[in-house]
Amino acid sequence: MIRAYHFVSSTLRDGSAIPPDGEWLTFKGKPICCEQGYHASRHVADAVRFAPGETLCLVDLDGEIVEQEDKLCATKRRIVARFDATDLLRADVRASALSVAHLWDMPAIVRQYLETGDESIRVEARKAAADAAAYAAAAAYAAYAAAYAAAAAAYAYACAYAGAEAKHQQASRDRLQAAVDAKFKELLK
């Protein structure tokens, strides 16, 4: 059995209802990544790239399991616990952007938005970041993350990683994983 992460929307991708926690789903057939079977990822940063929605599930996979670099596919999956990860993902995107703040002359409104997540200044921060990015190539990653932080959480999170330097990317992955693990630990008390 492998413990992993999987995002869901209001239904499963095939349109069926999301089962209650603890109920096993069983696929009768050979699991093939990206084609058939029950999917998940060992790392939450990988799972978010395939997210159809903002509900993050801690899952167990069992039966026949096939693994690729960023995903798993199995004949059995059950949800152990779940939560709406929107706020957690948005906070992590902002932290990722702040981690490269030293690479550019960040406008104060952008820093304020990234530090607080204050939605009332998001549009102004996005415009300021976009304007500043036009003048500073090193700002591309931070501006991109700032510009999309308020979009759908999973999409924004995936965009924030596009083009990131390896050390910042790994630090972001580790930070996100720690936050998610802490949340699930709290939920499973």
How far the first Cα of the chain sits from its last, in Å, is 21
Q: How confident is the model at residue 153 (pLDDT cuts 50, 70, 90)?
A: very low
What is the distance between the alpha carbons of residues 184 and 56, in angstroms, rounded to a whole number? 10
Q: Are 80 and 22 in contact (CB under 8 A)?
A: yes
Strand partners of residue 90 = none
pLDDT at 57 over 60: yes
Contact 126, 25 (CB under 8 A): no
Mean pLDDT of the chain: 82
The alpha carbons of the chain give a radius of gyration, in whole angstroms, of 18
pTM of the model: 0.74
CB 31 within 8 A of CB 37: yes
pLDDT tens sequence across 75-118: 999 999 999 999 898 888 888 888 877 777 888 888 888 888 88
